[in-house]
Structure 1
Amino acid sequence: MTTAPAPIASGTAVLLVNLGTPQAPTPGAVRRYLAQFLSDPYVVQIPRLVWWPLLHGLVLPLRSARVARKYAGIWMEGGSPLAVHTQRLAARLQGLLPQVLVDHAMRYAEPALDARLRALAGAGVERLLVLPLYPQYSSTTTGTVAALVERERGPMQARVVEDYATDPGWVDAVAASIRAHWAAHGRGQRLLFSFHGLPQRLVDGGDPYAAQCQASVAAIARALGLDPSGYAMSYQSRFGRERWLGPATDATVRALAAEGVRELDVVCPGFATDCLETLEEIAIENAQLFREAGGSRLRYIPCLNDAPDHAAALAAIVRRELAAWDRAG
């Protein structure tokens, strides 16, 4: 693991945090990653005495090899797409924010968030702005990042950006990426916004994630000038048997095909960078489901990744947050 570089004289650092990814597309690496991810009580809120036997006796043995094959199908020369794009995004952001140190970490796997926090503190960082790469807040994503930052920040002052679900710069960047995709590849009959799913009980208990996803869709649709009949919204990546947010993406793509939609565009604005859930689940699995249901072509619109507009939007958020911090003293 690399050591954090010495910060610039400002003593302020910005830490981008993404979910995490296996270190290799192999069953062993995937098993280690899933074990850490699915052991987080913020992610799976089942009593440990009940969950751990299921996790280690059933879930990990059954899922690791299958998921590893999926990762192998999307792996890039430099590693997992999520890791590659996150690193590139951090580098681009550093170029826009020369007055502070910009670093990146993963909540699960490497570079580990707890280790990066200790390294930054050891390098003399006094103020740390943490920017989780989750536009919409959930206790299962930004919430668990914030909890770990609070535990491991040491002597540093730390602030966590809770969400940027309707940030104008980010909305404009997503809308511009959709327009660019349409200009290059043609426009489908419908645009589907697909977000990662969440158990319904969490939303019923007060998690603002679903409301923020809906707000993001509304803002992006306005920026694109879309009529409500021109787009739909769904949730993907269900896990387990309990009720999750709906409608489900796989059911939605089938239903749209049955309605006569032959060309469908799908965008995933809940993901900052492409990953297994976008490149495999949407662009491969759901594209096949769409064709099997009678559709002709599902076109996946990539995440913002390290696009200049994305970095510029995040840089504006950082500047705004740091200015507010300065005003607060």
Structure 2
Amino acid sequence: MKKVAVILFNLGGPLTQADVKPFLYNLFSDKFIIALPTPFRQIIAKLISTRREASAQANYRYMGGGSPIVKETEAQARALEAHLNTTPDIEFKAFIGMRYWHPFINEAIAALEAWGAEEIVALPLYPQYSTTTTQSSFETFKKAYKGTAPVHFIEDYPVNPWFVSAYAVLIRKAVAHIENLDDYRLLFSAHGLPEKVILGGDPYQRQVEASVAAIMATLNVPIEHVICYQSRVGPLKWIGPATDETILETAKSGKSPVIVPIAFVSEHIETLVELDIEYKHLAEEAGTKDYIRVPTVSVEPDFIRGLAEEVLTAIGYAAHTEVKEAIAR
């Protein structure tokens, strides 16, 4: 039986308060995040991580001291593994490779090689491709992997029908109790990027828009929607509109926001603190009557099925009828 490893790429996050500063340093020393040459990038990363350590630690304390992203990603890995192992004649095992903190990508490589992987699928948990996320992870993997097993890279899946369906299901659940949808507005919030990154050819914004268009078509619910971007940092001009400004505009129009974290597939600091605490407080201060936050797709069955189909397509099995039937079960 062929052994196929699936390595799930994600951002990672500090596991303890002591991890916060080195995590931030790793993040901001990434050339795909700050495009400065060595050693200037490392100097800037050291300054940023030092200045932000205390405030970031305070935010992580809201989540028990560290990020839940590893636990969340581990749950996704196990769900995907179980789903894939309904496929005839192949043994699948999922591994986690985090970009900026443990378990790092090189740790995942060591684990999958020890397992004896004969084929590898590189699967980013970023539905929409960006140089700052997917490319950064892929380049790190390529630099670290010295083996001979063939590697299949899944670059993106912004309109995968099962990813789209998973969010449509979650949105319907979130608004099911609402009597008058005219009083609400869907805010699809994605992590922002500096405008210069998009102008340089990064497809992220275009793919976010494609995801939202597909979800709205599938959702088929008469409710207003807008795309916005969160987590701005630094002096550069970022793509917009900004989520916090959009919340204020929504409140000013007399509507309540329904926040959909469209670019995040697991709960972490941007959802549990920025959306659930900071932006909720902002909305309440602005006088909104309600504030609804749709959860991430996490281990939603449709999302896991979508990931499984991406993996099977990558290795050339999704076209087989018997595999489709196995997945459906």
Structure-2-length-normalised TM-score: 0.89
The alignment partner of 1:280 has SS state of: helix
Is 1:68 the counterpart of 2:57 in the alignment?
yes
**Aligned-pair distance for 1:94?**
1.2
Q: How far apart in 2 are the matches of 1:101 and 1:60? A: 35
Q: How many residues align?
A: 312
Give the corresponding residue for 1:157.
150
Q: Deviations over 1:52-84 (max 9, x none)?
A: 333323x222211111111111239xx632111
Give the corresponding residue for 1:221.
216
The alignment partner of 1:108 has SS state of: coil
**Aligned-pair distance for 1:185?**
7.5
Runs of 4+ in 1 over 4 A off after TM superposition: 184-188, 324-327
Q: Match for 1:199: what amino acid? A: P
**Aligned-pair distance for 1:226?**
4.2
Give the corresponding residue for 1:83.
70
Counterpart contact for 2:153–2:314, Cα < 8 Å: no
Give the corresponding residue for 2:324.
none
Structural mapping, 1:1-329, within 5 Å:
9-24=1-16, 26=17, 28-57=18-47, 59-75=48-64, 80-98=67-85, 99-155=91-147, 156-183=149-176, 189-226=184-221, 230-261=224-255, 263-323=256-316
The alignment partner of 1:12 has SS state of: strand
Q: Match for 1:115: what amino acid? A: E
The percent identity for this pair of structures is 34
Q: How far apart in 1 are the matches of 2:116 and 2:221? A: 48
Give the corresponding residue for 1:6.
none
The alignment partner of 2:235 has SS state of: coil
Q: Deviations over 1:125-156 (max 9, x none)?
A: 12100110000000000001111121122222
Q: Deviations over 1:274-317 (max 9, x none)?
A: 11001110111111111222212221111011222221221122
Q: Match for 1:93: what amino acid? A: L
Q: How far apart in 2 are the matches of 1:80 and 1:39? A: 20
Q: Which blocks of at least 5 consecutive residues in structure 1 are unaligned? A: 1-8
CA RMSD of aligned residues (A): 2.0
Counterpart contact for 1:175–1:220, Cα < 8 Å: yes
Q: Match for 1:48: what amino acid? A: T
Q: How far apart in 2 are the matches of 1:136 and 1:276? A: 19
Q: Deviations over 1:25-74 (max 9, x none)?
A: x1x310011111111101111233433333323x2222111111111112
Q: How far apart in 2 are the matches of 1:115 and 1:138? A: 23
Q: Match for 1:280: what amino acid? A: V
**Aligned-pair distance for 1:182?**
2.1
Q: Which blocks of at least 5 consecutive residues in structure 2 are unaligned? A: 86-90, 321-329
The alignment partner of 1:109 has SS state of: coil
Counterpart contact for 1:131–1:160, Cα < 8 Å: yes
